[in-house]
Amino acid sequence: MIRVDQNYIDGQFVPVTGEEIVDIVNPADETVIGQAQLASREDARRAIEAAARAQPRFARSTVAERIALLERLQAAMLAHADVLRESSILEYGGPLARSQWVANYASQCFGDVVRTLANYAFERPAGLDGVSTRRMVPVGVSGLFAPWNAAAGTIASKLAAAIAAGCASVVKPSELSPWQAHLITRAIHDADLPAGVVNVVTGRGADVGAEIGTHPAVAKLSFTGSTPTGRLIARGAADTMKRVSLALTGKSASVLLDDADLRAAIPLALGAAFMNSGQACVAGTRLLVPRSRMDEVVALVGTAVNAMRVGDPRDPATTIGPMVNRAQFERIQHFIRRGLAQGATLVAGGEGRPEGLTHGWFVRPTVFADVRNDMDIAREEIFGPVLSILPVDSDEDAIAIANDSIYGLQGYVFSSDVARARRVAERLDTGTVLINRVAPDLLAPFGGVKQSGLGREFGAMGLEAFLEPRTITVA
Ligand code: NAD
C-alpha cells in the first residue's frame, strides 16, 4: 500500500499535521492502492514562511547559478521518469503513451527554460536615450497550483519558470494526485536545491489553497485549473495585490476547411479531441465541418472512434483509459444524456461503460453530429472523450461559431492551404492556434483569452510571469 504523509518544507520531508486521510484509488479497477494524509493550513503557513526566508538570497542568485539548479532538476526528473510514468498510470489512469510523455516532459521543461534563460536580457535600456534602465527582478514568493489531469507536467513547468526567475515557491498539487506529487517532490529533493526554494504541500483547495492564495508573504500566484476556481483565486489575490497567472477551462474548436485532406486531418482532429482520454484543457471538442463534407467526415469519425480501444491504460494499444474518479464518470454520463435530450445525433458511443468492462471508471468515447452551438455539449467543458460535430456554411460561419464561446484557450485549423488556414487562425479568439498539428510548441507563449485565463506560460513570456520591471532613471 502506498502511504503519503509528508510535506516538503525547507528542504526536508516533514510529517503532515492535517488529519484528513483520503484513499488513493486505481481508477482502472476501483481498488484502493494507498492513502494520503492531507496537509493543513498550518502546514501551508510553514511552507510559506520557509519560502519567504529563502526568497531574499535566492533573488540575488546569478543566472549561472539558477541554470545549474535547473540542470540538476532536469537530470533528477529524468532519473524518476519511470516512477512518474507508473504513478500517472496507476493513480490517474493515464494511457501509457501519454503517461510516458508527461514523465519525459517533467524533465524536458527544465531544459526548455534553460534555453530561454540563457538568451534572456534581464537588463535593458528604457525611456529617453541613456537616462533609464529597466531591470527585470523576481516578483517574490510564488504559490503554484496544479490540477489533477497533468500533475507532473504542470508542477514541473511552473517550477521551472519560477526558479529561472529567482522566485522561491510553495507548490499546491491537487488532492486527487498526492502520489504523483510525492514522487515529483522526491525528484526535486534529489536535485539538492537551497533549502526553502521549493516547498510542497498537498491539501485541499478550500484550506491549503486558500491559505497560499491569500497569505501576505506570497507575491505571485500561478494557477492551472478550472475557471470557477480561477475566479476565487483572482478575488482572493486582490486584497494584497498578488500578481496572478491563470490557465483555465477550454472549449476548443477544430476548424476543418473544405479543402482539408481528410486522411491526414481526421486523425489529427481525433487526436485533439481524445488526447489524455479527453481530460485535457486543450481538447478540441467542437469539430466544425463544412456541410459539403459532412457525410464523409461523420463516416470517417464514426469508424475511427468505434475502433478506439478503451481499457487497461498500461496496454500500448489503449487510446482511452479510465476517467480519474466516479465524479468525472458521472459528469460525462450527464453530458451524454444532455446531448441526447437536446436533439444531437449519436454517431458513436453513448451512455454507460464500454461492453465487457464491468468496473473501473471507463466511459465510451462518444461522438455527436447535428450539434448546435447553443447545446450544453457545445458550450460547456465536459472533460472527457465526447466530441461534438457542428455543421458550418463557410469560413466566416466557422470563425463565428468557433468564437461564440466564453472560453478561448486553443484552436485548431485543418486545411491543404496553409495561407488560408492562417487567415482563419488570425481571426480565432484563442491564445493559441495550431494549424495541421496537435503537438504544441513548448517554447512559445501558451495561455487563454476570455474566461480561459490570464497571462502566458512557456518561453520568455512564461519567465516574465515571475518577473517585474524595476526602472532606474539617472539625472
Ligand atoms: P480545480 O479548479 O478543481 O482545481 C485546481 C487546483 O486548485 C487544485 O489543486 C485544487 O485543489 C485547487 N483549488 C480548489 N479550490 C481552491 C481554492 N478555493 N483556492 C485555491 N486553490 C484551490 O481544477 P481540476 O478539476 O483539478 O482540473 C481540471 C480543470 O483544469 C479543467 O477545467 C481544465 O480545463 C483545467 N486545466 C487547464 C489547463 C490550462 O493550461 N489552461 C491545464 C490543465 C487543466
pLDDT at 379: 98
Instruction: State if residue 446 touches ligand 1 by the CB under 6 angstroms criterion.
Output: no
* All structural domains of the chain: 2-248+452-473 (3.40.605.10), 253-441 (3.40.309.10)
Probe ligand 1: pick from 175, 208, 245, 281, max atoms within 8 Å of CB? Answer: 281
Q: What is the length of the chain?
A: 475
Per-residue pLDDT at 129: 82
Query: What pLDDT score does 382 carry?
Result: 98
| Predicted TM-score of the model (pTM) | 0.97
Does 211 sit in the ligand 1 pocket, CB within 6 Å?
Answer: no
Q: Residue written as cell 490557465? A: 247
What's phi and psi for 14, nearest 5 deg?
-130, 150
Which among 145, 119, 143 has a CA at the least distance from the CA of 55? Answer: 143
User: What pLDDT was estimated at residue 289?
Assistant: 98
The whole-angstrom separation of Cα 91 and Cα 176 is 9
User: Residues 388, 401: contact at Cβ < 8 Å?
Assistant: no
CA distances from 4 to 21, 37, 239 (A): 10, 6, 34
Please, what are the averages of pLDDT over each run of 10 residues along the chain (475 residues)? 97 98 98 98 98 98 98 98 97 96 97 97 92 97 96 97 98 97 98 98 97 98 98 98 98 98 98 97 98 98 98 96 98 98 98 96 98 98 98 98 98 98 98 97 97 98 98 95
**Distance between Cα 151 and ligand 1 center (Å):** 11
Task: Report the 10 Å Cβ neighbour count for 356.
Answer: 8
Which pLDDT does position 128 carry in this prediction? Answer: 87
- pLDDT for the residue numbered 150: 86
- pLDDT at residue 334, rounded to an integer: 98
β 21-26/31-37 pair status: antiparallel
Instruction: Say if ligand 1 is within 6 A of residue 382 CB.
Output: no
